[in-house]
Structure formats: structure tokens, C-alpha cells
Amino acid sequence: MARDFGATHTLTPSAELAEEIQGLTGGGAAYAFEAIGRVQTIESLPSLIAPGGKAVIVGLPPEDSPVSIDALLLAESGKSLIGSNYGSTVPGRDFPRLAELYLAGRLPVDRLISHRIGLEEVNEAFNAMRRGERARSVIVF
């Protein structure tokens, strides 16, 4: 699905992920986004970005799952770690703009919805999401 939305490369997290990214980019990504909230992938972010690069944490791990990051590695290489809760939106400013983009056909939100479900299906939708089987389920009445 990432390729459908413009990603040039997609990789599966593995022990060799940093080496794969180094090879693809010639030294590390300028930006890396972690969007699933998995402790291991968050911890790998500094090794994925180039000196001066930015790593963005979008996905949030469970509250009882601390994440260890080597602060010295970040500081010595000028790398930045940025948090982004809900895209760091300002609803009063951003929601009208997003609605305009959607209505103009420039923000294909419909393509992100893989399933429309009833409220009685919500538990199965969460289970399917955890298994990586769905992009996004939307509850409809």
C-alpha cells in the first residue's frame, strides 16, 4: 500500500535493516518514520538516518513499554528524534485544509479505508489490525 501512495522502496524490519537502508541511500535516510509503535523499530531509528537526519515517531508503543535510545549517538551525529502525535495537527487550522484537499481530489482518504464495519465487528477489526491484515477499518451506521 505504501508504494501505491508514492513510496519508492519498502522494507521489512530485520536485523539487516540498517545495512539495507545504508545501501539504498548511500549513508542513511534523511527522514525515517516509525508508524507502528513497535519498541524494536523505534529503537532502530537512529541507525537508519544519516548524520543530520530526522527520525519521526508516529506510532506509539504501549504505555508500559519503555524505549531505549542512544542519546550520545544522536548528539554526536546531529540526528534528531521527533515525536508526532496525530501528525502534530492544529485542528482549527488543519482540518479545514485537509477537507479542502479531500474535496478537491488531492487527498485520497478513501483509498486508506480497507473495510467499513458495523459496531458489532469492532473487536474483530482490532484483531485483524494487530495481525497486519487491514489498513484501516471505519465504523459506519
DSSP 101-126: HHHTTSS-GGGG--EEE-GGGHHHHH
Q: What is the pLDDT of residues 59-115, one digit of tens each?
A: 888 899 999 999 998 999 999 999 998 778 899 999 999 999 999 999 988 888 889
Q: Has residue 38 got a pLDDT over 80?
A: yes
Domain with CATH 3.40.50.720 in the chain: 3-88
* pTM for the predicted model, two decimal places: 0.73
Whole-Å CA distances, 20 to 8, 25, 77: 14, 9, 20
The class level of CATH for 3-88 reads alpha beta
Do residues 131 and 114 touch, judged by C-beta distance below 8 A?
no
